[in-house]
Chains A and B, each alone.
Chain A
Amino acid sequence: MTISRRVLLAAPGALLLPAPTRADQQKLAAALRDFTGGQPMREGRVRLDVSPLVENGNAVPISVMVETPMTAADHVRRIGVFNERNPQPIVITAQFGPRSGRAFLATHIRLATSQALVAVAEMNDGSFWSQRVEVIVTLAACIEG
């Protein structure tokens, strides 16, 4: 991924934001553990697509693709998307099978602030794969009453 001028210009602002607290990280870790049942998670195979600089946190398009032939012998069972600093760490979970054809999921989500997103895929052999993406949000969701 190349860093665009846009992201570079937003970077000083991002530096001023408070770093994720320990509580945020523990909440995310607990949600991931719930999803994986404590199994180890490996980086790779999962591609989480989201704009690195989000102008409006109220509706952020994201998509998740997993490298797999989606055959009976090798397919994705579940995909979960998690976040670090929304009020709840869970975003969406979805069930897949060989009839899905592709391991693909797209939706629009809310982001309360700049934070990390994690997409996790559970394969039919019980292994877990993930990708983590950092997102900068300029207009947050949930601040307007």
Chain B
Amino acid sequence: MARVLLRVPTMTEKGSVIEIRALIQHVMETGYRPNAQGELQPRDIIWTFTCRYGGEVVFNATLSPAIAANPFIAFTTIATQSGPVSFTWEGDNGFAQTETRHITVT
């Protein structure tokens, strides 16, 4: 499992706009870099990131090799109700990881 850093508020007011920051450990090998033998290293990137809030998709991004290693993404969403917020990364070579946090909305 790749290491993940998530900044999600644990408690917030209903209707407030919250900023979420997500970072995951990953090489994001571009597929354009030669290795020591001079051969191109095959592409190995995360190509999609999805955030679900209470089961509903609230944010989705499609990444490319131009995203730096250990992809960092920040975005906002409205705190609608208490519930789970899940983050899913999917990529080459069957990479898939999901992390979940709980938000309490008052």
- Please, what's the 1-or-0 string for B8-36, where 1 marks a CB less than 8 Å from any CB in chain A? 00000000011101000000001011111
B64 with A92: CB separation less than 8 A: yes
Q: How far apart sit A60 and B69, CA to CA, in the bound complex (Å)? A: 11
CA distance A119 to B57 in the complex (A): 23
Contacts of A88 in B (CB 8 A): 64-66
Interface membership of chain B positions 70-97, coded 1 if the CB is closer than 8 angstroms to chain A and 0 otherwise:
1111111110100000000000000000
Q: Name the A residues within 8 Å of B68 (CB-CB).
A: 58-60, 107-110, 141
B66 touches A109 (CB 8 A): yes
Task: List the B residue with the shortest CB-CB distance to A90.
Answer: B64
Say yes or no: A106 contacts B77, CB within 8 Å.
no
By the criterion CB–CB under 8 Å, are A87 and B65 in contact?
yes
Closest to A61 in B: B72
- Report chain A residues within 8 Å CB of B21: 106
Q: Which residues of B contact A94 (CB under 8 A)?
A: 59-62, 75
| Cβ–Cβ contact B17 & A101, under 8 A | yes
Q: Assuming the A-B contacts A87-B30, A96-B59, are A107 and B73 also in contact, with contact meaning beta carbons closer than 8 angstroms in the complex?
A: yes
Q: CB of A145 within 8 A of chain B? A: yes
The answer to whether the Cβ of A93 comes within 8 Å of any Cβ in the partner chain is yes
Pairwise interchain contact A107-B34, C-beta atoms closer than 8 A: no
A105 to B18, CA, bound (A): 13
A100→B78 CA distance, assembly (Å)? 6
Task: Report the bound CA distance from A107 to B63 in whole Å.
Answer: 10
Whether B30 contacts A142 by the Cβ 8 Å rule is: yes
Q: Is B67 an interface residue (CB 8 A)?
A: yes
Chain A residue, CB-CB nearest to B23: A108
- Contact between B76 and A100, CB atoms less than 8 A apart: yes
The answer to whether B33 and A142 touch across the interface, beta carbons within 8 angstroms, is: yes
Cβ–Cβ contact A92 & B67, under 8 A: yes
Check if A97 is an interface residue, CB within 8 A of chain B: yes
Q: What are 5 sample pairs from A and B whose C-beta atoms fall under 8 A apart?
A: A90-B66, A91-B67, A102-B17, A106-B73, A111-B66
A97-B58, A110-B67, A142-B33 given; 7 more Cβ-contact pairs under 8 Å? A58-B68, A92-B67, A94-B61, A100-B77, A101-B77, A107-B61, A110-B30
Interface residues in chain A, defined as those with a beta carbon under 8 Å from any beta carbon in chain B? 58-60, 63, 83, 86-88, 90-97, 99-102, 104-111, 141-142, 144-145
